[in-house]
């Protein structure tokens, strides 16, 4: 397993974000690679060159494509975004991409899941032909279509070649043990995100599928049992990447990444 820089962690506090400084930090910490979450208004070829100049492997590419519509015509802009994302992935030289899949007000989780599966089916053949793995993640929220293992496995059964970007923290918001959930999905996991949450009052956080309320925490400072996740991943011989994801504002992003890296490396030494 290799720890991976996640550009989203670094860019969500824009006052701190600088592409070159992010790549320098990735190299300094000797992380295994980087996941570019969007192209950050930079041509894909230029991002690839910047990563190569810092001797950093681009492990994955994440972009947005809204497939959550019942009719094919409504999904078409999202399908086109998915095809453009594939072109960018090929330029970046990555072998996997992830599309965040969100629920919508007015739709049940089941309705959103059906819509998104139909959209993913429209994209699947393009990705299979190109040799780039199409993945979704466990996504948080009371209306989210894909949170727990059963949600994800439904899509995997119906979309040829679909893989999972396993998110340890987001699984927990469904009331499911992340290590158990990983084991259920292990054959289809091709990438991973580690993140953490605090349990808070309804006024302070976002509602999960389990009815509890969550606020982002730094990896190792919240409720998620990361050690048991690592043990489950070791048992399944997972050899891929783990993104360092942080959605809080308590720490500047570079400090958060340093702390999370040290914490997870310490855990791994004890396994």
Q: Per the structure, how many domains does the chain have?
A: 1
Share of the chain above pLDDT 70, in %: 100
Its domain, for residue 198, covers: 2-269
pLDDT at residue 25 in the model: 99
4, 241 in Cβ contact below 8 A? yes
Q: Tell me the pTM.
A: 0.96
Q: Report the CATH number that the domain containing residue 134 is assigned in CATH.
A: 3.20.20.150
Q: What mean pLDDT, rounded, does the chain reach?
A: 98
> What pLDDT shows up at residue 270?
84
* pLDDT at residue 134 is higher than 90: yes
Look at residue 271 in the predicted model and tell me its pLDDT: 84
Q: What are phi and psi of 169, to 5 degrees?
A: -75, -40
- Of 171, 168, 77, which Cα lies nearest the Cα of 123? 77
Residue 219 DSSP one-character state: T
The rounded distance, in Å, linking the Cα atoms of 15 and 123 is 35
Residue 241: predicted pLDDT: 99
């Amino acid at each position: 397993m290799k720890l991976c820089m996640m550009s989203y962690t670094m860019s969500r506090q824009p006052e701190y974000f600088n592409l070159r400084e992010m790549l320098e930090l990735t190299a300094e910490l000797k992380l295994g690679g980087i996941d570019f979450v969007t192209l950050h208004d930079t041509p894909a070829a230029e991002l690839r060159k910047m990563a190569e100049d810092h001797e950093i492997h681009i492990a994955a590419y994440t972009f947005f494509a809204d497939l959550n519509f019942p009719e094919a015509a409504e999904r078409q802009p999202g399908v086109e975004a998915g095809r453009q994302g594939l072109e960018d992935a090929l330029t970046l030289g990555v072998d996997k991409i992830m599309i965040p899949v969100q629920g919508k007000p007015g739709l049940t989780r089941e309705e959103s899941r059906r819509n998104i599966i139909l959209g993913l089916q429209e994209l699947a053949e393009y990705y299979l032909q190109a040799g780039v793995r199409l993945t979704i993640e466990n996504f948080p929220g009371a209306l989210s279509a894909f949170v727990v293992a059963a949600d994800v496995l439904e899509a995997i059964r119906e979309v040829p070649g679909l893989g999972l970007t396993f998110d340890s923290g987001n699984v927990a918001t469904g009331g499911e043990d992340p290590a158990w959930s990983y084991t259920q999905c292990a054959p289809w996991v091709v990438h991973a995100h580690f993140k953490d949450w605090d349990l808070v009052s309804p006024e302070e956080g976002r509602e999960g599928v389990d009815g509890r309320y969550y606020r982002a925490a730094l990896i190792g400072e919240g409720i998620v049992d990361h050690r048991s996740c690592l043990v489950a991943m070791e048992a399944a011989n997972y050899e891929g990447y783990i993104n360092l994801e942080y959605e809080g504002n308590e720490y500047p992003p570079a400090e958060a990444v340093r702390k999370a890296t040290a914490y997870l490396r310490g855990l791994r030494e004890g396994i």
